[in-house]
């Protein structure tokens, strides 16, 4: 008596189909449990890219909402942690408390997004260790941010703790960008020279310095999160000029990189799109930065400046990543190669 597989069950030699997970009738001469086939859980590359992008979007969003907490003077709208205050765990009875509470609750959305990313990284096909590490780094960072955020509140918005809070967010956004780009598996079609790699990495390094100095400006200026919050006893004009100088140095390196690409069609095919994007965002960011300074740092312009800083950082990280990957690749065949698709593809990431 033979038994053959058929769909999600078995068919015996009497021509009767038995669904999986069932026992045969008692009057049937054939016995035994019909097992169901084990279907492995997998996540498609396209779906994983969408999950990684959702994590990136949530991490950028909470940077902006966190800045709104400071800019509206709501940093101590909840003066306790993890509860909002001694009376209520969740309190929205005042405007400041509501703003701070919404930002805290959004942390749950961020946590869910990064946890989903790390779970999906174990089931995406093909499986790659780099995706698991980048996703796990985001989970660890968000967990650390919860503790750091509590420390910020319990220390009365200490400027040092606020700086750490923001800079850890920058690290998290960096991990999220790398996760998205690695999951897309974009690889340059050709190589770039050592000077190009140095310019790209140098621009990324000076952008990081600008980020750090930007937190010093915030910790010195009027938007500390609360009227009674401590601030750095520094001259605001001086630290603002240092921040501006670092940003200009970054743009200068990017301009040199762009000039080098103009002279090299092969390298332009690799980095042209990403460099165009970062220059456009950087120039807009610089314009808003000077505008907010000379306008007396109004809250709305500061919020736009912070949002653009995230866009600029994402763009410069992508330039550095593509250049770093392309450093060991051979140049495209032919001195006049002008394949532009890879550069444009990277710009759209």
CA atoms of 307 and 327, how far apart (whole Å) = 31
Q: What is the pLDDT along the chain (349 residues), one digit of tens a residue?
A: 333 344 444 444 444 555 555 555 554 445 555 556 656 678 888 999 999 999 999 999 999 999 888 888 888 788 777 888 777 887 777 888 888 888 888 999 999 999 999 999 999 988 888 999 999 999 999 999 999 998 888 888 899 999 999 999 999 999 999 999 999 876 776 788 899 999 999 999 999 999 999 999 988 988 877 777 888 999 988 999 999 999 999 999 999 999 999 998 889 988 999 999 999 999 999 899 889 888 888 888 989 999 999 999 999 999 999 999 887 666 544 443 433 333 444 444 4
Q: Which helix (H) or strand (E) holds 6?
A: strand 3-6
Strand, coil or helix: 187: coil
Give the model's pLDDT for residue 8. 47
Domain ranges (residues) in the chain? 1-35, 44-185, 190-349
CA atoms of 99 and 102, how far apart (whole Å) = 5
Give the model's pLDDT for residue 5. 42
Give the model's pLDDT for residue 250. 96
Could you tell me how many residues make up the chain?
Answer: 349
CA atoms of 268 and 338, how far apart (whole Å) = 8
Q: 């140049």: which residue's tokens?
A: 331
The model carries a pTM of 0.82
Give the model's pLDDT for residue 16. 53
What separation in angstroms does the CA of 345 have from each of 46, 186, 247, 317? 15, 8, 26, 15
Residue 162: beta bridge partners? Answer: none
In sequence order, what are the residues at sequence separation of 6 or more whose Cβ sits closer than 8 angstroms to the Cβ of residue 54?
113, 116, 117
Give the model's pLDDT for residue 19. 59
Is the CATH number 2.60.40 carried by domain 44-185? no
In sequence order, what are the residues at sequence separation of 6 or more whose Cβ sits closer than 8 angstroms to the Cβ of residue 303?
64, 67, 68, 71
Give the model's pLDDT for residue 128. 87
By 3-state DSSP, what share of the chain in percent is helix, strand and coil, each rounded to 5?
65, 5, 30
Q: Which helix (H) or strand (E) holds 69?
A: helix 45-71
DSSP 124: B
Give the model's pLDDT for residue 256. 96
């Amino acid at each position: 008596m033979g038994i053959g597989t058929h769909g999600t069950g078995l068919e015996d030699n009497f021509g009767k189909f038995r669904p999986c997970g069932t026992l045969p009738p008692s009057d049937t001469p054939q016995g035994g449990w019909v097992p169901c086939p084990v279907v492995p859980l997998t996540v498609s590359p396209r779906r994983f890219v969408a999950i990684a992008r959702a994590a990136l979007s949530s991490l950028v969003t909470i940077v902006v909402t966190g800045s709104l907490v400071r800019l509206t003077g709501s940093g101590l709208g909840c003066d306790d942690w993890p509860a909002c205050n001694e009376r209520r765990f969740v309190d929205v009875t005042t405007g400041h408390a509501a703003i701070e509470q919404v930002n805290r609750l959004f942390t749950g959305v961020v946590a869910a997004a990064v946890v989903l990313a790390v779970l999906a990284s174990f089931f995406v096909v093909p499986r790659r260790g780099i995706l698991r590490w980048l996703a796990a780094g985001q989970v660890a960072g968000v967990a650390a941010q919860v503790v750091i955020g509590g420390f910020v509140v319990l220390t009365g918005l200490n400027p040092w703790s606020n700086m750490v809070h923001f800079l850890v967010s920058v690290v998290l956004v960096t991990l999220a960008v790398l996760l998205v780009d690695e999951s897309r598996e974009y690889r340059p079609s050709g190589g770039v020279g050592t000077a190009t790699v140095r310019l790209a990495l140098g621009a990324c390094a000076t952008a990081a310095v600008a980020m750090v100095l930007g937190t010093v400006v915030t910790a010195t200026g009027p938007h500390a999160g609360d009227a009674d919050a401590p601030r750095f006893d520094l001259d605001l004009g001086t630290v603002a000029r240092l921040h501006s100088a670092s940003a200009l140095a970054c743009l200068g390196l990017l301009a040199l990189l762009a000039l080098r690409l103009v002279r090299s069609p092969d390298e332009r095919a690799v980095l042209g799109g990403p460099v165009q994007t970062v220059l456009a965002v950087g120039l807009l960011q610089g314009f808003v930065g000077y505008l907010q300074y000379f306008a007396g740092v109004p809250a709305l312009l500061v919020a736009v400046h912070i949002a653009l800083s995230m866009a600029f950082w994402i763009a410069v990280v992508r330039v550095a990543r593509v250049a770093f990957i392309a450093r060991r690749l051979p140049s495209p065949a032919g001195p006049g190669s002008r394949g532009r698709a890879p550069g444009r593809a990277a710009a759209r990431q």
